[in-house]
Amino acid sequence: MDKDLELMRDLTETAGPPGFEVRVHRLMKRKLSEFTQELITDNLGSIVGKHGDSGPKILLAAHMDEVAFMVTHITKDGFLRMQPLGGWWGHVMLAQRVKVLSRNGDLTGVIGSKAPHILSIEERKNVLEISSIFVDIGASSKEEAEEFGVEVGDPIIPICPFEVLPNPKMLMAKAWDNRAGCFVTLQVLEQICRETHPNTVFCGATVQEEVGLRGAVTLSHKVSPDIAFALDVGVAGDTPGMSHKEGHSRLGAGPLLGFYDSSMIPHLNLRDFVIDTAKENKIPYQTDIMPGGGTDAGKIHMAHNGVPSMVISVPARYIHSHVSIVHRDDLDNAIKLLVSLIKKLDEETVGKMKGMDARGL
């Protein structure tokens, strides 16, 4: 396994539920420190590495948290009730292995519910409510579960080892949303540290994106960037049953440029600049319109007097579940595009980009 795949494995297999990102924060801090000693954090735990000392400030922000759960109740028989941290769909949850992150260590469990054999026909047609399911850690009573170390408020994460599939460019893991962005921002920082660029770059990741884009608010006020890129994943549309209008992106066809989501419309001048740069460098890209979701850019672009922002993602299959798949070429091309953009974002270019002096429409 090459060092890039090892980094992907470390990022995806490390736990980082919203509000409990300490393990992945520690990993990001260690990796960022390999390329720069100038680390900046906000008070919630978002972290970036800084490179450069002059010119406009360019922020590349992934988010380090993953969709997860929290223990809300321990039943008298030792089962754990939970609530989601981030968006979950009942169909993808049942019979999946999970880890409860307790003070005494990680405990393996499985998500269970009433057996389908005893459900009515109508009940089987419906998605089970999260209030109807539970985690079984093998405890026989509430007291035994507490002896194991479980407490109300403990986070729960999916279990899925990182794996390179038979097509070696297809990569399967939990938490690609958004360890893919974490991988990209670390790789960009490593590359620009070997290059000259006309700006000051901040590469890193925010906390608590999945529960309200919270770290994006605090980090953008800490850094006060001139230009920002939110690095994330988008929904791949290349699986059976997906219509073209529901999604047309494909794994391996290039990074996604976000043209619209529920939290932001990208700044037109920056959007055109990104497209032109991709074309000049013959970097494949796809467009993404996502009416039902948002990214950290939704908060970053409203910081202070406004920050021209753009979402650059990679397509991923099966996000917000226990497992997802991305394509190595999309990661590599996202890195290539961002490095190309950073090299061009000098004081004059950024100055012309701000405001509404755009191309004629």
Catalytic residue set: 209
Query: Could you give the CA distance from residue 62 to residue 287 in angstroms, rounded to a whole number?
Result: 19
DSSP label of 325: E
Query: Could you give the CA distance from residue 289 to residue 175 in angstroms, rounded to a whole number?
Result: 22
* Orientation of helix 268-280 relative to helix 328-344, angle to 10°: 110
DSSP string of 235-282, one letter each residue: E---STT--TTT----TTS-PEEEEEETTB---HHHHHHHHHHHHHTT
Helix, strand, or coil here: 214?
A: helix
DSSP string of 59-107, one letter each residue: EEEEE----EEEEEEE-TTS-EEEEEES---GGGTTT-EEEEEETTEEE
Pair 109, 99: CB distance under 8 Å: yes
Tokens of 11: 């990022």
What backbone phi and psi angles, to 5 degrees, belong to 89?
-120, 130
Helix (H) or strand (E) holding 329: helix 328-344
Helix, strand, or coil here: 147?
A: helix
Sign of CA dihedral 351, 353, 354, 357: positive
Sign of CA dihedral 327, 286, 278, 225: negative
Count of residues for the chain?
Answer: 361
